[in-house]
Amino acid sequence: MAISTTFRSIFWPYILAMALTPQWVSLAQLQVGFYSNSCPNAESIVSSVVREFAQSDVTILAALLRLHYHDCIVQGCDGSVLIQQPAGAGNLEKSAQNHAGLRGFEVIDRAKEQLEAQCPGVVSCADILALAARDSVFLSRGPFYELPTGRRDGRVSNVSDADNMPEVHESIDVLKAKFAAKGLSGNDLVLLSAAHTIGTTACFFLESRLYNFGGRGGSDPSINPSFLPELESQCPQGGDVNVRLPLDRGSETVFDAQILRNIRSGFAAIESDAQLYADPSTRAIVDSYLDPLSPLFGPFFRSDFADSMVRMGRIGVRTGVDGEVRRNCSAFN
C-alpha cells in the first residue's frame, strides 16, 4: 500500500511529463536544438563556416539565403537543389533554368566536411542550408531566430520539379497562388520577398521590364521616373545581361526595411517586388510595416520576417526515418 502510493506520487508526474514532452509526442517533427545531444556543435560549426566565407566575400550571405529558398520551394526543404551527381546528367534539378546563378554550394560543402569529421552521418544537408540561411540573415544585421531542425535529405533530383517555381514576371495572383500551394500566405509573400533587402540581380531579369514591358515595348510604368534612367544606364538595351545591380537600391548588404520603402516608392529592381505595391492586399501589408507607429506597436518587420523564414523552412520537410542524412551534400548516399 505504502509502496504503491509512493510509486504514484513520485513516478506518475514523471511519466505524465514524459508523455507530454515534445520529443515523445512528436518524434517526427522539427524541433529547436534537434542536434543538441547528437552533435552539440552543429549550429556553431555552420555559423563559423558562414562567417569565415563572408569575411572574404560578403555577397555570399545573400547567395545562401536564396539557396535555402530555392531548396524549399521545390519539393520541400530536402537539399535536392544541392545534388550534382551523376555528373553530366541533364535532368538534375540543379540544372533548371529557374535555378540559374545559384551560388554558395562550396559553403555548404565545407560545413558538411567539418560536421562529418565531428559527428559522421548526423546532420542533414537540408538543415545545413536552413542554418546557413539563418546565419546569413543575422550576419547581415537582420534578426536572429531559433531554427527548428531535424530535416532529412531527399532522394530525388529532377529538373522538371523546378518548372513551377514563382517567376519574376508572373502576376501577383499567380505568385500568391504558388505561395499558397506551399502553405504560405500573402503576408509571407511580402515578408519573404523582402529577403531582397540583401543581394543583387542580373540585368537579365530586368530586360523585359525596361524595354518590352508586357510585350508592348517600353518600360514598366510602376518604375519611379527618377529611377528609370538609372536602371537603363545600368542595364542598357542589348547590353551584357550578366551585369548585376542591387535588388534593394542603396542598401544591398544590410538587412533592413529599406526594401519595403523602395517597393513603396517605385524603386524596386525586379517586377515581382514592384507588384507587391500594385495589389491592394499586399500593398496594405507593405504599408503596415512602414507605418511610423510600427516600431512601437507593430507589426514588427524583423520578427515577422523571422517567423516567415521558419514557416518557409517547414515546407515539405522529411523527418524521422524518411529520406536520409547525406554524407556528401552533392551526392545521394
Residue 206 binds which entry of ligand HEM, ligand NAG, none, CB below 5-8 Å type-dependent: none
The CA distance from 226 to 222, in Å, is: 11
Amino acid at 65: L
Of the candidate residues 99, 151, 176, 196, the single one contacting ligand HEM (CB under 6 A): 196
The least distance separating ligand NAG from the CB of residue 257, rounded to whole angstroms, comes to 39
Of the candidate residues 160, 233, 237, 242, the single one contacting ligand NAG (CB under 6 A): 160
Q: Does 233 bind ligand NAG (CB under 6 A)?
A: no
The CA distance from 213 to 288, in Å, is: 29
Of the candidate residues 52, 57, 106, 113, the single one contacting ligand NAG (CB under 6 A): 113
299 phi-psi bin (left φ>0, alpha ψ -120 to 50, beta other): beta
Q: x/- string (CB under 6 A) for ligand HEM, residues 51-80?
A: --------x--xx-xx--x-----------
> 171 labelled as ligand-binding?
no
Q: Does 81 bind ligand HEM (CB under 6 A)?
A: no
Residue 198 binds which entry of ligand NAG, ligand HEM, none, CB below 5-8 Å type-dependent: ligand HEM
The least distance separating ligand HEM from the CB of residue 200, rounded to whole angstroms, comes to 4
- Cβ-contact 71, 126 below 8 angstroms: yes
Q: Is 70 a catalytic residue?
A: yes
Per-residue cell: 28: 517526427
Residue 234 binds which entry of ligand NAG, ligand HEM, none, CB below 5-8 Å type-dependent: none
The least distance separating ligand NAG from the CB of residue 220, rounded to whole angstroms, comes to 33
Identity of the residue, 310 or 331, whose beta carbon is nearer to ligand HEM in the bound complex: 310
Q: Where on the chain is the footprint of ligand NAG (CB under 6 A)?
A: 84-85, 91, 113, 158, 160, 328, 330-331
Annotated binding site: 71, 74, 76, 78, 80, 166, 196-197, 248, 256
Q: Which residues are catalytic?
A: 70
Binding annotation for substrate: 166
Residues found near ligand HEM in the complex (CB under 6 A): 59, 62-63, 65-66, 69, 101, 103, 166-168, 175, 192-193, 195-196, 198-202, 205, 247, 270, 272
